[in-house]
């Protein structure tokens, strides 16, 4: 059967009553000659057992130096609905960009070759997109209902990173980097062309651009088990992600992150909406108040303690006010505290020693976070 012909995308909005949406599941691989056969055969058996939509699997070898490419071509020859392609450059983002831009399917998805995510979440993920509920659907390991087994280091880094996204950019999604996503092809292609990252930050940049341009992102809680043979270098990836966040924030502030996207059901906009919208979100202004209290508390405490201990004491005092003013769960409060402490400590240690410059660095850090949040929320819709 010619699966490509059977999966030609419809030019109109997906309508399950007219024709079931077709799905292309991409598996990006780099030097995975051992893991790839088991992954593809397991996924094929799962889909054959009752996946209710037309599907195909696309293996993308992005720069492997072992036998991954011969293994991929052998699987494509053996299994009718498996396809393979090869790129000369490395990076998960580059692999997804190439496959998603060329896919004939209505819905494009991807998952990691280690199958860390339980496949039972695949249909709920795809259904949210194919049914018109959202333009993008993502698996989340951090929302209620998810079950996760992974190392403490990865847990702390992941939660800290996603807390930074929520408090710095005001995003609604809870897990940017889970390797389990689906999107409506015609909606995601303009975003993919805009994304600059070819590596792990691709996922975050995709979601930031999606929300910034008014697309709907749906989350599906997943069961996820960490692969002990993972190739992800957590610290290096985290540093690259921070650089990527700074780049995206600059693009949003300069108006370069706007993309012409196609929504399934565009929300009507009142003609006076732009005129009646507040210039500065009051929630952002309220968020600066603890920062000013933090900076003021820093000054007297600095005469007694070191910069690191002074920052901790001042943040605790400001945090008491913030917790009283805003009701948050214990977990969210702890995560927010950890992120703010890390950022403000880095700020006070980066300026000349002294109460005044260090206190100013604290205030500047809060203002920068508030500015990022304002830029994102004001231009997102």
Distance from C-alpha of 137 to C-alpha of 345, rounded to nearest angstrom: 36
Please confirm, yes or no, whether 102 is among the known catalytic residues. Answer: no
Sheet with 107-111: strands ordered across: 82-87, 55-62, 23-29, 107-111, 180-184, 136-140, 217-221
Distances from the Cα of 119 to the Cα of 45, 112, 140, 220, angstroms: 11, 11, 13, 12
Residue among 112, 186, 203, 241 flagged as catalytic: 203
Distance from C-alpha of 214 to C-alpha of 262, rounded to nearest angstrom: 10
Pairing verdict, β 55-62 and 23-29: parallel
Torsion, CA 274, CA 277, CA 279, CA 281, rounded to 10? -140
**Cα angle 241-243-245, degrees, rounded to a multiple of 5:** 70
Judged by DSSP in three states, 308 sits in: helix
Q: How far is CA 262 from the centre of its chain?
A: 20
DSSP classification of residue 94: H
Give the Cβ contact number of residue 208 at 10 Å. 27
Using only C-alpha atoms, the chain has a radius of gyration, in whole angstroms, of 23
With CA atoms as reference, report the closest residue to 226 among 238, 234, 216, 237.
234
Active site residues: 203
């Amino acid at each position: 059967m010619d699966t490509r012909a059977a999966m030609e995308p419809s030019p109109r909005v997906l309508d399950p009553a007219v024709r079931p949406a077709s799905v292309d599941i991409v598996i990006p691989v780099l030097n995975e000659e051992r893991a790839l056969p088991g992954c593809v055969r397991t996924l094929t058996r799962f889909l054959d057992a009752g996946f209710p939509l037309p599907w195909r699997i696309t293996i993308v070898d992005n720069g492997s130096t072992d036998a991954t490419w011969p293994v991929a071509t052998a699987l494509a020859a053996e299994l009718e609905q498996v396809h393979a392609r090869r790129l000369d450059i490395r990076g998960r983002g580059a692999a997804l960009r190439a496959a998603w831009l060329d896919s004939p399917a209505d819905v494009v998805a991807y998952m990691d070759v280690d199958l860390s995510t339980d496949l039972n979440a695949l249909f709920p993920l795809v259904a949210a997109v194919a049914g018109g509920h959202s333009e993008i659907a993502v698996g989340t390991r951090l929302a209620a209902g998810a079950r996760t087994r992974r190392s403490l280091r990865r847990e702390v880094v992941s939660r800290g990173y996603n807390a930074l996204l929520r408090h710095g950019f005001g995003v609604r999604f809870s897990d940017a980097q889970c390797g389990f996503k689906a999107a409506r092809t015609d909606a995601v292609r303009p975003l993919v062309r805009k994304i600059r990252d070819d590596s792990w930050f691709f996922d975050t940049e995709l979601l930031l651009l999606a929300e910034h341009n008014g697309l709907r992102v749906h989350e599906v809680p997943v069961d996820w088990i960490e692969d002990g043979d993972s190739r992800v270098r957590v610290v290096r990836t985290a540093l690259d992600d921070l650089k990527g966040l700074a780049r995206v924030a600059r693009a949003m502030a300069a108006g370069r992150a706007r993309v012409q996207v196609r929504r399934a059901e565009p929300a009507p906009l009142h003609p006076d909406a732009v005129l009646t919208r507040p210039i500065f979100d009051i929630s952002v202004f309220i968020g600066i108040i603890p920062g000013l209290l933090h900076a003021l508390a820093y000054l007297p405490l600095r005469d007694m303690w070191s910069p690191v201990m002074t920052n901790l004491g001042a943040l605790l005092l400001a945090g008491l006010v913030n917790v009283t003013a805003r009701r948050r769960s214990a977990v969210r409060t702890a995560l927010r505290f950890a992120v703010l402490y890390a950022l403000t400590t880095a700020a006070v240690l980066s300026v000349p020693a002294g109460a005044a410059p260090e206190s100013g660095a604290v205030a500047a850090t809060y203002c920068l976070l508030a500015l990022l949040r304002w830029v994102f929320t004001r231009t997102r819709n």
